[in-house]
Amino acid sequence: MEILVCVKRVPDTAENEIEVNRDGSDIERDDLVYSVNEWDNYAVEEAILIRDKVGGSVTVITVGDDESEEVLRREMAMGADNGLLLCDDAFEGSDGKGVASLLKAAVDKGKYDLILTGAQADGGAAQVGGMLAAMLDYPYASLVNKIEVDGDTLKVGREIEGGNQEMNAIQLPCVLSIQTGINEPRYVGIRGIRKVASVEIPQQGAADLGVDAASVGADGARVKRLDYFVPEMGEGAEMLEGSTEEIVAKLIELLKAKGGLK
């Protein structure tokens, strides 16, 4: 099975405090630590597991800038066979549809049976997978937490409300968005990264993909982000201050009053 996995380079929220910059035009990007979108690691792991079972290859792809190469390399260190970087000044400021249409152009140039995305990325939009499927006219299932290969059909579980699992049969080729917890993504050590450090990763721009530069990027975006801000949220929590002993004493009193302690 030829599998394509879409991955995105995102600020690592476990490593950074995300703050709005001074004029509210962006988040504060100085000193940000980036990594692969959490969901995408699960997607790549799942692709590797499927390939190891039924044969084929895993290609990881991203729409990004030069620095996005590092996330492709990381996923190749996990075990993906190929990387592909879609990179062009014209792609900057694309909305979700722009990103999906670039991925579609790359899919049209290759031959893939299965395309995986993460369920969502840092923007919390959960949009690219479903858009890509519709553009390709492939069937789609989101929030997938189980995949069984059965000839040219997959049996997939979708995680729905309450943690219940909706089982579906879906025909290949198809697009699936992967939910966390579907597997346990393997650890990537320094050794693994070193092994792929000098692998050449091909880059494609608007001309290579045959996409009209005006249809993507900021010009093509029908959805535009105006600013970033932190909303005023009513009163918020009453913050307990003082030494640890004082805070602990206050908290115990409160817990007793609210029925949290017998």
Ligand X SMILES: Cc1cc2nc3c(=O)[nH]c(=O)nc-3n(C[C@@H](O)[C@H](O)[C@H](O)COP(=O)(O)OP(=O)(O)OC[C@H]3O[C@@H](n4cnc5c(N)ncnc54)[C@H](O)[C@@H]3O)c2cc1C
Is residue 202 within the footprint of other proteins (CB under 8 A)?
Answer: no
Count of residues that bind other proteins according to CB under 8 A: 82
Is residue 127 within the footprint of other proteins (CB under 8 A)?
Answer: yes
Q: Map residues 4-33 to x or -, x wherever contact with ligand X holds by CB under 6 A.
A: --xxx----xx-------------------
Q: What is the DSSP string of 118-169?
A: ES--TT----HHHHHHHHHT--EEEEEEEEEEETTEEEEEEE-GGG-EEEEE
Q: Which does 158 bind (CB under 5 to 8 A by kind): other proteins, ligand X, none?
A: other proteins
Query: Shortest CA distance to 107 belongs to which of 190, 17, 173?
Result: 173
Shortest spacing between CB 215 and other proteins, in angstroms: 13
Task: Indicate which single residue of 29, 194, 225, 256 sits in contact with ligand X (rule: CB under 6 A).
Answer: 225
Shortest spacing between CB 151 and ligand X, in angstroms: 26
Q: Map residues 46-85 to x or -, x wherever contact with other proteins holds by CB under 8 A.
A: ----------------------------------------
Report in angstroms the alpha-carbon separations of 111 from 4, 74, 107, 154. Answer: 9, 23, 7, 18
- Give whichever of 72 and 141 is closer to other proteins, judged by the CB atom: 141
Shortest spacing between CB 108 and other proteins, in angstroms: 15
Tokens 């908290």 map to which residue? 251
The four Cα atoms 121, 125, 130, 134 give a dihedral, to 10 degrees, of: -130
Is residue 207 within the footprint of other proteins (CB under 8 A)?
Answer: no
192: which 2 tokens?
A: 């693994």
Is residue 204 within the footprint of ligand X (CB under 6 A)?
Answer: no
Query: Shortest CA distance to 60 belongs to which of 8, 137, 135?
Result: 8
Q: Which of residues 32-71 bind ligand X (CB under 6 A)?
A: 37, 39-40, 62-64
CA distance 203 to 205: 7
Count of residues that bind ligand X according to CB under 6 A: 33
Is residue 141 within the footprint of ligand X (CB under 6 A)?
Answer: no
3-class DSSP assignment, residue 85: strand
Q: Which does 118 bind (CB under 5 to 8 A by kind): ligand X, other proteins, none?
A: ligand X
Dihedral sign for Cα atoms in the order 241, 247, 249, 253: positive
